[in-house]
């Protein structure tokens, strides 16, 4: 009986247990079981996915992308450009390796071209109108690439057409101070000025010259600035090395604004209002033409007049004279003029952006944008196709993940292949104008990779301080090219570092304070947290101001694969680093943006401003205290938000909490926008990172206003300093308000 | 055996069932049970809470609030103002009935006052300098209120001080066309113009006069415009009725901008940069002074010269002559001048906003803002204390809910008691400047209830079209005062209605296209969806341009309780309606903002624009097609979003979905901002609702540009029309982009 009872109890217990298990595991609780999205909304970045991504990025694929993209010259709106549009679309629409969707967007933009039938001419003409010398119209061919009939003649885009001649003078870099100094010795009225690249913006060299009565300007690249002094194509320059051959000419856009010149703040659609051409500002008022140093040498070394100061000298083995004006009496060019015959014309043409997206799964209304321009001056192997090759490899790897159903990012990713960047960042600027509201509201960050590889020594990164940390995290996970046991981060820190009060010695991340590439509209017009990265030089090995084939007909696949990145390993490192940042921005539960690092940069700027300006401001009765208080408020707000983040269990709290914090981080840069702060700087609205002419590592508007007031001494100019201090303090306080408790 | 087996099976089944039940009900699933926040994030507005709120709103409480607020005059920055600050703080900090938190925020703002020791004087002086008549310096007392020493003398704030005299002319409403017509008959140089209120802004009456050489301006309220013609205080005007007594004078701010005049776009803190006083624009360049119609009668009826046109006539029982200039030969004032001695002075003074908050539970980073100004010209019973009394009753009821733990809104609620509104919406404008980024990013809507009750006939509402529906919903749930079986909505529709293509006959909701109250900075500067409501007139019973005691010393508790809203039932209806809207905005899972209603308004504006402008624009080669396409895009995007909403199960899907849609709705008005669209209109950035002088019910920038081009005929002015069409089309397309699929 006991046995039976025991058996009964045992059986009963077993049955009960089975029942409990069935009840617990087998039946879904209708009222309180968690909906499936509870897990989705808490998902964080997947480390194994990142590793898979890093291992899939293939240098050979990048090389083949580059080969394809550089088959023909692809200047904006040419047939070659259209070929790249089709190529991008084909790749991004590929059912196996493409994105969710890809399409083109077109703008009618104002461009400037030379006339293939009437090439621009630079000549030396004698008093009897005999042509004594004609500058090269085309760069000397070393490979079939230079012979492509689609290679555009070197020219200065947006230089007016015109026929001017006059005595030649040498004006160094064409800075205001250069013309001022020169004019103390030489009467510049009626002259032609030859200048070298560097020191001032392209258009500025002509804009600064015109008030002195200069009629035309030449510009060349001095071998000192680009070739570490080397000049001979017999054995020193390309195709023997990466250096610029004597006939190489840097083309470029000679405008100081960005975006389409005829449609300021408006997307350049067919029926959009266009300002009259005569109202365009920021372009050369007089003809300007770039030439090779081969021709510049012939002109400069024949100049008469006094010797220019030592700082004006380049690498030519002759004295750099100011010009009599004009040539030496002993020269074959004695008494001759230099003549510019410029036949540039302007045209409104159809330029395309190619856009592609991967839809986000959890927060599709949050965008991470990754972009680069597609158009080049000639074949553009490095600028911009190195970046485009990297972008295509990145989209291939991620596209395969998506198409195979292995991955979908938390947030949406938008890829932009911008058009007409070379003419003034036009495609990206028009895009931001057209979609201003949507992009402002939803964009987490913009990643720009234009020239992916300048050289193969080290990473170079610029960006908002809040992005520093995610760049570091990504760079630590990528092997430095050619150094299997060193990370990109560890390599980088040896080339460029600084001491951070918070982090000790760390790599130095630059700021995006100018308009160097397509990040400009995102940073300055929209206030979107942005970054720009590339692989670059060992500065102990070269002083080249940029890679020497920049904007020449030598920027080809041959050049890139032989001299810039043999094996495409630096390209691969950039693809891995940028892709890693992209995945982290798209997938992290908490956005990897750090507001305390922003505080550190503001404090740094403040300290500089106090050192430079406080005493002078005091004597003008202007207090820096509001600015100091604002920066202190920002620091304390950032510390507070970091504390909130640290003390939260974001994966288990309501997803509206992490969304709230992410919104604070995402919108931080927007708080620094003031559309009225810089009335003279087109589309510059970010009061911390706007461009500045004062050349001080501090708040740009304050620095410029101070420099101006200091030089004029006018009380209205000191008022402007005070005004800008208030603008700045209010913007920083306003940003701080967005970081403290939301209510 | 079979029995035993059966019993065993039965027992086993029972045990198994028990086990299943225990397992299912008794044990929490650790991995998949729903976190508590899953229910919280899906919570919607609670209908029973709204009913409780409606029933708790007490007319006696409102009456007592008003009694307290109107004990003494409380002009901005006076001791009386400070008393109201303390009163608000006490109420909002009350531990039983107050808000979560309340505090004051101070700004140093530029105000204008008369000199109590040297009252402004308006006199008629004979050629021998004998004073023949002196206008009243104070309004006639009928109750002790008018004798309060703190009653400020009637004056025109921001009128310059000055002593001017000249022959009098009558300039109707002081519009540009009035001075133009008058100047065809009378040489206005050296004259004093008397004008009546209405037709043009206060400052405009002097700004328009100055170019004609007018030296000074008087302004009065004609009994035709305010009293339905009645004039006698023996039996017709207050204290016998609501009408303005003969000595009543409307005070006011004579500036056309809003916000502190010295700190445009900057919060007026102590060390903020201030522009030089001479750079202030939009204020009278010549002295101006308001007087009562009792004095105006004596002046106007003595005027010589030709009879003014019929449209210029008011209710005086005499001919309204232009003036000779000056008085009739038969007048005792023959040959006399009118003299203005204005002693106004400006001062930077400390003005306070009182702020209070109820923290949101689920989305604390979303704000519903409810506000009204606190300062008055004198006792300000109706303007603004009727609104403040309503706000205090609303915060009392909600405060009790919060303090008793019965309720906490989904979103945060911010209450603002603004300072110095009467001087130019200063407190609210400074607030939006100081917290620009935070408020832009997070504010769902702004509700303004300034004058809560103009009269007790019907509801009046203005706002963005997207708010129409929530106002209707709220108004349907509130009983109309004095009509127990009729709702506020059903009563309203009888007084003001229109036919909507989508909804049939509905009450007419106005637009917030001017700067009439503190919504201005929210609407025009921040682009925040806003509304303004009040109870108002039966227009079949009065033509008064506003309630007759407006800005006079008769706007007292006595006046309000006897003639505007005996029993405070209209106040109660407004508190209930506004509070209902507030709760719905704060608590609804899906924001009660309707984008298709916005589309209807845009279509309406478009139709008007096409009718008015298309033919003329065609002949100037300007196409309206981009604008038509933009409005069509907006409509289709709105339809799409509504479809997404209808097909969603928002309470059961991820809370990030409803947040995404709510963000689209919340930020819709932000997409219409263009800070550069109206360079001549201070802080007007909303391209749909900006102020306009063209007086057409269509897009304001287009209407103004068209009127300007039509009158000048200049091609550059037609260019501006084209420009504004592009601005508008891009803004509307941009808004549409925010409503379509987020990616």
pLDDT per residue as tens digits for the range B504-555: 999 999 999 989 999 999 999 999 999 999 999 999 999 999 999 999 999 9
CB atoms within 10 A of CB B180: 11
Mean pLDDT of A166-188: 98
Interface confidence, given as ipTM, is 0.94
User: For residue B381, what are the CA distances in angstroms to B143, B239, B454?
Assistant: 14, 15, 11
For residue A508, what are its two tokens?
């130095």
Mean pLDDT of B238-246: 98
* pLDDT tens per residue, range A683-741: 999 999 999 999 999 999 999 999 999 999 999 999 999 999 999 999 999 999 999 99
Residues in B closer than 8 angstroms to A675, CB to CB, are 675-676
Mean pLDDT of B562-581: 98
Cβ(B289)–Cβ(B159) under 8 Å? Answer: yes
Task: Tell me phi and psi for residue B124, to 5 degrees.
Answer: -105, 120
Percent of chain A with pLDDT over 70: 96
- Which residues 6+ apart lie within 8 Å of A241 measured at CB? A230, A563
| Residues pairing with B216 in the sheet | B192
Task: Check B25 against A23: CB less than 8 A apart.
Answer: yes
Res. B29 pLDDT band, cuts 50 70 90: very low
CB atoms within 10 A of CB A343: 18
Cβ(A570)–Cβ(A356) under 8 Å? Answer: no
Least Cα distance to B228 among B546, B543, B550 occurs for B543
Res. A18 pLDDT band, cuts 50 70 90: low
Res. A21 pLDDT band, cuts 50 70 90: low
Q: Which H/E stretch holds residue A728? A: helix A715-739
Residue B514, pLDDT score: 86
pLDDT at A348 over 60: yes
Q: How far apart, in Å, do the first and last CA atoms of chain B sit?
A: 71
CB–CB contacts below 8 A, A to B: 226
Q: For helices B569-587 and B47-56, what crossing angle results, to 10°?
A: 150
Pairing relationship of beta strands B443-448 and B530-536 according to DSSP bridges: parallel
H, E, C per residue of A485-503? EEEHHHHHHHHCEEEECCC
The mean pLDDT value of chain B amounts to 96
For residue B194, what are its two tokens?
């008397």
Annotated catalytic residues of B are: 421
Q: For helices A700-712 and A595-619, what crossing angle results, to 10°?
A: 10
- Which residues 6+ apart lie within 8 Å of B245 measured at CB? B139, B140, B142, B233, B237, B238, B292, B554
d(CA B165, CA A301): 78
Concatenated DSSP letters for A327-370?
A: B-TTSTTTTPEEEEEE--EEEEEEEEEEEEEE--SSEEEEEEEE
d(CA A420, CA A242): 26
d(CA B509, CA A457): 66
Q: For helices B47-56 and B385-403, what crossing angle results, to 10°?
A: 130
DSSP label of B307: B
Cβ(B268)–Cβ(B109) under 8 Å? Answer: yes
Which member of A41, A675, A726 has the closest CB to residue B656? A41
d(CA A176, CA B702): 43
* pLDDT tens per residue, range A382-397: 999 999 999 999 999 9
CA distance B359 to chain A (A): 6
Mean pLDDT of B276-302: 98
Q: For helices B468-476 and B569-587, what crossing angle results, to 10°?
A: 130
Cα Rg, chain B, nearest whole Å: 29
Burial (CB < 10 A; 0-12, 13-18, 19+), residue A713, is: exposed
Task: Check B16 against A16: CB less than 8 A apart.
Answer: yes
Cβ(B115)–Cβ(B153) under 8 Å? Answer: no
Q: Which residue has the tokens 């600064």?
A: A208
For residue A249, what are its two tokens?
């000419």
Task: Tell me phi and psi for residue B312, to 5 degrees.
Answer: -85, -10
For residue A631, what are its two tokens?
């920066």
Residue A33, pLDDT score: 83
pLDDT at A635 over 90: yes
How many whole angstroms from its chain centre is CA B377? Answer: 17
Mean pLDDT of B101-126: 98
Residues in A closer than 8 angstroms to B652, CB to CB, are 35
pLDDT at B302 over 90: yes
d(CA B678, CA B681): 5
Minimal Cα distance from A363: which residue of B? B656
Residues in B closer than 8 angstroms to A23, CB to CB, are 19-25
Choice between B7 and A124, residue whose per-residue pLDDT is larger: A124
d(CA B655, CA B651): 8
pLDDT at A24 over 80: no
Cβ(A237)–Cβ(A221) under 8 Å? Answer: no
Cβ(B418)–Cβ(B432) under 8 Å? Answer: no
Residue B33, pLDDT score: 82
DSSP strand E in A183-244: where? 192-196, 216-220
* pLDDT tens per residue, range B609-662: 999 999 999 999 999 999 999 999 999 999 999 999 999 999 999 999 999 999
CA distance B387 to chain A (A): 25
pLDDT at B139 over 50: yes
Task: Check A20 against B22: CB less than 8 A apart.
Answer: yes
Residue A365, pLDDT score: 98
Query: Which of A107, A365, A369 to mutate to probe the B interface, most B CBs <10 Å?
Result: A365
CB atoms within 10 A of CB B649: 8
- Which residues 6+ apart lie within 8 Å of A296 measured at CB? A194, A196, A218, A220, A222
Res. B5 pLDDT band, cuts 50 70 90: low
Cα Rg, chain A, nearest whole Å: 29
User: For residue A186, what are the CA distances in angstroms to A168, A169, A206, A314?
Assistant: 11, 8, 17, 20
User: For residue A40, what are the CA distances in angstroms to A43, A44, B116?
Assistant: 5, 9, 70
Among A56, A250, A421, A733, the one annotated catalytic: A421
Task: Check A670 against B441: CB less than 8 A apart.
Answer: yes
Cβ(A293)–Cβ(A220) under 8 Å? Answer: yes
Residue A484, pLDDT score: 80
Residues in A closer than 8 angstroms to B737, CB to CB, are 435, 437-438
d(CA A93, CA A86): 10
Q: List helix spans (H) across A691-714.
A: 700-712
Residue B30, pLDDT score: 46
Task: Tell me phi and psi for residue B496, to 5 degrees.
Answer: -150, 110
* pLDDT tens per residue, range A537-558: 999 999 999 999 999 999 999 9
Residue B134, pLDDT score: 98
Least Cα distance to B594 among B468, B473, B419, B450 occurs for B468
User: For residue B36, what are the CA distances in angstroms to A27, A171, A655, B25, B39?
Assistant: 21, 74, 12, 17, 6
* pLDDT tens per residue, range A88-131: 999 999 999 999 999 999 999 999 999 999 999 999 999 999 99
H, E, C per residue of B468-501? HHHHHHHHHCCEECCEEEEEHHHHHHHHCEEEEC
Task: Check B655 against A652: CB less than 8 A apart.
Answer: no
Minimal Cα distance from A414: which residue of B? B743
CA distance A240 to chain B (A): 49
Residues in A closer than 8 angstroms to B726, CB to CB, are 263, 266, 271-273
Minimal Cα distance from A729: which residue of B? B272
DSSP label of B463: E
CA distance A359 to chain B (A): 6
Please state which of the ranges A20-24, A459-463, A614-618 shows the lowest mean pLDDT: A20-24
Q: Which residue has the tokens 């300062």?
A: B375
Minimal Cα distance from B21: which residue of A? A23
- Which residues 6+ apart lie within 8 Å of A470 measured at CB? A581, A584, A585, A592, A593
Which member of A27, A35, A660 has the closest CB to residue B652? A35
């Amino acid at each position: 009986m006991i046995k039976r009872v025991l058996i009964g109890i045992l059986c009963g217990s077993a049955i009960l247990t089975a029942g409990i298990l069935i009840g617990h595991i087998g039946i879904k609780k209708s009222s309180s079981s968690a909906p499936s999205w509870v897990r989705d909304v808490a998902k964080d970045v997947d480390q194994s996915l990142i590793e898979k991504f890093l291992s899939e990025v293939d240098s050979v694929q990048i090389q083949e992308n580059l080969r394809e993209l550089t088959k023909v010259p692809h200047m904006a709106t040419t047939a070659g450009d259209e070929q790249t549009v089709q190529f991008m679309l084909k790749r991004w629409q590929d059912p196996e390796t493409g994105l969710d969707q890809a399409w083109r967007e077109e703008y009618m933009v104002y461009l400037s071209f030379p006339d293939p039938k009437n090439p621009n001419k630079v000549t030396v003409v004698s008093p009897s109108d005999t042509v004594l010398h004609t500058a090269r119209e085309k760069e000397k061919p070393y490979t079939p690439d230079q012979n492509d009939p689609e290679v555009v003649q070197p020219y200065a885009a947006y230089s007016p057409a015109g026929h001017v001649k006059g005595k030649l003078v040498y004006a160094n870099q064409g800075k205001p101070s250069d013309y001022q100094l020169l004019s103390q010795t030489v009467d510049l009225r009626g002259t032609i000025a030859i200048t070298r690249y560097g020191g001032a913006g392209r258009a500025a060299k002509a804009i600064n010259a015109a008030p002195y009565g200069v009629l035309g300007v030449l510009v060349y690249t001095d071998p000192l600035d680009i070739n570490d002094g080397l000049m001979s194509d017999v054995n020193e320059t390309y195709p023997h090395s990466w250096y610029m051959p004597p006939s190489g000419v840097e083309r470029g856009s000679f405008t100081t604004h960005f975006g389409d010149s005829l449609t300021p703040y408006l997307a350049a659609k067919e029926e959009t209002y266009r300002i009259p051409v005569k109202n365009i500002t920021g372009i050369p008022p007089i003809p300007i033409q770039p030439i090779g140093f081969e021709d510049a040498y012939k002109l400069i070394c024949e100049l008469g007049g006094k010797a220019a100061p030592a700082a004006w000298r380049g690498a030519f083995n002759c004295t750099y004279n100011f010009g009599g004006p004009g040539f030496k009496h002993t020269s074959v060019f004695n008494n001759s003029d230099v003549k510019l015959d410029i036949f540039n014309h302007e045209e409104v043409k159809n330029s395309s952006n190619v856009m592609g997206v991967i839809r986000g799964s959890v927060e599709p209304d949050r965008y991470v944008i990754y972009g680069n321009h597609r158009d080049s001056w000639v074949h553009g192997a490095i600028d911009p196709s190195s970046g485009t090759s990297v972008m295509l490899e990145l989209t291939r790897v991620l596209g395969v993940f998506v198409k195979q159903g292995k991955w979908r990012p938390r947030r949406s990713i938008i890829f932009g292949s911008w058009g007409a960047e070379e003419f003034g960042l036009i495609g990206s600027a028009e895009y931001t104008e057209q979609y201003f509201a949507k992009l402002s509201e939803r964009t987490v960050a913009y990643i720009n990779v234009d020239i992916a590889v300048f050289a193969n020594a080290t990473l170079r990164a610029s960006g908002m301080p809040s992005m520093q940390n995610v760049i570091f995290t990504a760079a630590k996970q990528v092997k430095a090219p050619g150094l299997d046991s060193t990370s990109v981060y560890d390599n980088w820190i040896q080339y460029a570092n600084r001491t951070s009060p918070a982090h000790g010695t760390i790599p130095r991340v630059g700021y995006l304070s100018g308009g160097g590439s397509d990040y400009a509209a995102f940073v300055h017009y929209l206030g979107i947290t942005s970054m720009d990265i590339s692989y670059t030089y060992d500065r102990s090995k070269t002083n080249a101001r940029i890679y020497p084939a920049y904007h020449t007909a030598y920027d080809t696949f041959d050049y890139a694969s032989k001299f810039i990145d043999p094996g495409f390993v630096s390209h691969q490192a950039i693809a891995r680093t940028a892709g890693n940042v992209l995945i982290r921005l798209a997938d992290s539960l908490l956005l990897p943006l750090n507001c305390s690092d922003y505080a550190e940069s503001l404090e740094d700027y403040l300290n500089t401003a106090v050192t430079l300006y406080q005493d002078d401001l005091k004597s003008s009765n202007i207090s820096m205290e509001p600015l100091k208080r604002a920066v202190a408020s920002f620091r304390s707000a950032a510390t507070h938000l970091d504390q909130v983040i640290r003390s939260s269990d974001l994966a288990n709290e309501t997803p509206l909490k992490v969304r709230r914090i992410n919104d604070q981080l995402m919108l931080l840069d927007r708080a620094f926008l003031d559309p009225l702060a810089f009335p003279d700087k087109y589309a510059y609205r970010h009061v911390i990172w706007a461009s500045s002419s004062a050349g001080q590592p501090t708040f740009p508007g304050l620095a410029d206003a101070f420099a101006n007031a200091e030089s004029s001494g006018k009380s209205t100019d000191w008022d402007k300093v005070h005004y800008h201090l208030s603008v700045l303090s209010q913007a920083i306080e306003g940003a701080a308000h967005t970081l403290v408790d939301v209510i």
